[in-house]
Amino acid sequence: MKTTMPLLLLSGVLAAVAGCQQAENTFTTMSTNTNLTPSTVQMTARTDEEWRKQLTPEQYRVLRQAGTERAFSPGYEEFKKQGVGTYVCGGCGVELFSSKEKFDSHCGWPSFYDPANAKNVIAREDHSLGSVRTEVICAQCGGHLGHVFKGEGFKTPTDLRYCINGVSLKFVPAEATATEKLKSSQP
Ligand code: FE
């Protein structure tokens, strides 16, 4: 199996994430990356001190220490209002998700049914909290994004729920991207 494949092939029983009550699910269909070496996580070259300077304390706690923001945070309320655009990594800026795959799961965290750019998202087993979950991290900087759950019955094309911390993301509206492209095309 190629080590560059972005997601882990996992099977196991997944428990509910805090605040999101759900049945246990067997998780067998994700593609895989079982070897999280520096060749697969292209660690953005920053020291811990530099991350602390760049990120807000809450971003540092979530992205660099695998924390979880509280449910129904102000960022989640913002997320629900955001329109067409792209969600990039709050740490390194690489494209992760887009408004096309966004949906409201009502669980209190930003939800997507697929990444916008799968090669930039890596999933791996997470044995914290006494259960087996699938953690999602940024492939470029290794920042913790959240978790992904399968088979919850959402009427989406994948029935996956990427449950992502709002502070791990930065929203780039489509109009901002269009303006940037226009500026860069001008002499
Ligand atoms: Fe990143």
- Bridge partners (DSSP) of residue 121 are 138
**Quick check: pTM over 0.85?**
no
Residue 1 in any domain: the answer is no
88-141: pLDDT as tens digits: 999 999 999 999 999 999 999 999 999 999 999 999 988 888 888 999 999 999
Residue 23 in any domain: the answer is no
- Residue spans of alpha helices (H) in 72-125: 74-81
Residue 54 in any domain: the answer is yes
137-185: pLDDT as tens digits: 999 999 999 999 999 999 999 999 999 999 999 999 998 766 666 676 6
Amino acid found at 121: V
Q: Where are the beta strands (DSSP E) in 108-164?
A: 111-112, 121-126, 133-138, 144-150, 160-164
Distance 159 CA to ligand 1 centre (A): 25
Amino acid found at 97: F
Q: Which residues are catalytic?
A: 163
- Which domain, by its residues, includes 85? 33-180
Distance 44 CA to ligand 1 centre (A): 8
Distance 161 CA to ligand 1 centre (A): 20
Residue 15 in any domain: the answer is no
Q: Which structure tokens are listed for 35? A: 């070897």
Residue 11 in any domain: the answer is no
In this structure, what CATH number is given to the domain that contains residue 120? 2.170.150.20
User: Do residues 171 and 83 touch, judged by C-beta distance below 8 A?
Assistant: no
- How many domains is the chain built from? 1
